Structure 1
Amino acid sequence: MLHDNEIEILIAKLRNKYDEYASKYNPRWFNKDAFEERLQIALGNKIDLEAFIVAEIAHFETIRKRY
């Protein structure tokens, strides 16, 4: 199980990756605003953030491989 600070670090890394890939490649594909929206929904619905992060990393990697 991840601690709160570890979750915050992973969320920050995801934000940085979305920024990096959006500026390098395509902001539509690497849409940080959509990530932030999904994060807010997860927080609002009290979804397990560890599971959310795992799903988001998998989603990001899928997009990265396609692009």
Structure 2
Amino acid sequence: MAEEKTWKELLARVGVAHLKAVKYGIQTQRGISQFVGLALTAGADFDETPAVRACLERPCVSPDYNL
């Protein structure tokens, strides 16, 4: 039972990170995977750090390459 709960929690975290990646305009599987990986290792709110957010929101570069 505990293992099932852990998987459900992980899938929920992945889902939230995926939605956040899409909101930043990230579209490729690679870009979304990188964003999700960062969210899982650096923390779900890693994108709220001012320097990270500035990088993710740079208009002159495709969002997939901002990672």
Larger C-alpha radius of gyration, 1 or 2?
Answer: 2
Please indicate the TM-score interval, normalised by the length of the shorter structure: 0.3 to 0.5
* Higher helix fraction (1 or 2): 1
TM-score of the aligned structures, taking structure 1 as reference length: 0.45
TM-score of the aligned structures, taking structure 2 as reference length: 0.45
